Amino acid sequence: MKVLRSLSTAPGRWPGAVALLSLLSVSACTTVDLSVREEPRTPSPVNTAPASSTPGASAPSSSAAEPASVAKKPGGYYLDDGPADKVPEGLLDTPDAEPKIEPFAKGPSKPYTVFEQTYVPITDNRPFVQRGKGSWYGKKFHGQRTASGEIYDMFKMTAAHPTLPIPSYARVTNLRNGKQVVVRINDRGPFHSERIIDLSYTAALKLGYVQSGSTELEVERLLPEEIARLQADKRGREAAAKTPSSTADDPIARLAGGGTPPVAAESTGIFLQFGAYAQANNAQAMRERLLPGWPADLPPPTVVQSGGLYRLHSGPFASREQAAAAAQQLKAVSQISTAIVQR
């Protein structure tokens, strides 16, 4: 009963002992509320077929002749979870979570222990950037209660993290394809040494790894300073949309016409990001490494200080399509990988 004692210290509501013992035999997504997620997921992947090119397509099921306990390879969604039976149309057009400055929930902010490992949630405004393998959770938990007390909706832009504040917001980048989303952290988990975050089905779909089940991600917390700036930028864009203006004073419009305006520390728009660093000299060192093979027709990389970190950017670009074309050019010319971000 050692596991039971350890589990009982985690926040959230727990089922009775009999139900808990039966749940511990199931491999699934994780949360501190065992009615939502049952254990620190030892994966039982079932997806070995090539990824479908159809957005929202269901991942394949395991063969009836194959024992359910056999794990084929890392990745793949968990045996008892997966996409919805009915996937709504247009999920790829789902807007990112809109960051807001919100007070932290008291319960999910307390230290807790799951399977003899203690987690201490962040309760201050420290910068946070993390890279590692991320997964997603779906229909098994759809409609169940998260650690925040909110109901999990696999079609919204949310995520579970062991220590980020609840609620908080994070910018998540798929390091394999450069795709990026913003999600709201409202749940705890995954409690697995090889996983750093669990995204909702839709967030994983937008990042392009629903079929593989997991991928290498970068998770960057959005701090109040950046959230306030994003909100101000949004209000400015909305006001500008109501007021006709000349493109002569619009740097993004000039870029669309072929110009390359200088990038300042306070610039907003769409950028290529090559990393976020705690030390300015590390960002500058990376910049020096990039410059020798840098294409002359692209905005040069610039170190920008934002949210307590030093980011290496190129831009701004007029659209995500233009930024994606620049990313492909860099990949072809210098084997440089990057992510598209919007500031």
In the chain, residues under CATH classification 2.40.40.10 are 1-45+73-243
pLDDT at 289: 78
Taking Cα atoms as reference points, which of 236, 231, 217 lies closest to residue 170? 217
Three-state SS for 201?
helix
The CA distance from 172 to 339, in Å, is 10
The CA distance from 91 to 179, in Å, is 15
Pick the CATH number of 1-45+73-243 from 2.60.40.10, 3.40.1370.10, 3.30.428.10, 2.40.40.10: 2.40.40.10
- Distance from first CA to last CA of the chain, Å, rounded? 50
Give the whole-number percent of the chain exceeding pLDDT 70. Answer: 69
Q: What CATH code would you report for 245-342?
A: 3.30.70.1070
* pLDDT-based confidence at residue 7 (cuts at 50, 70, 90): very low
In the chain, residues under CATH classification 3.30.70.1070 are 245-342
Q: What is the pLDDT of residues 284-314, one digit of tens each?
A: 878 887 887 788 888 888 888 876 778 888 8
172 has pLDDT over 60: yes
| Average pLDDT estimate for 104-128 | 95
Taking Cα atoms as reference points, which of 53, 48, 88, 46 lies closest to residue 71? 46
Q: Is the model's pTM score more than 0.95?
A: no
Q: What is the pLDDT of residues 23-49, one digit of tens each?
A: 333 333 443 443 334 333 333 233 323
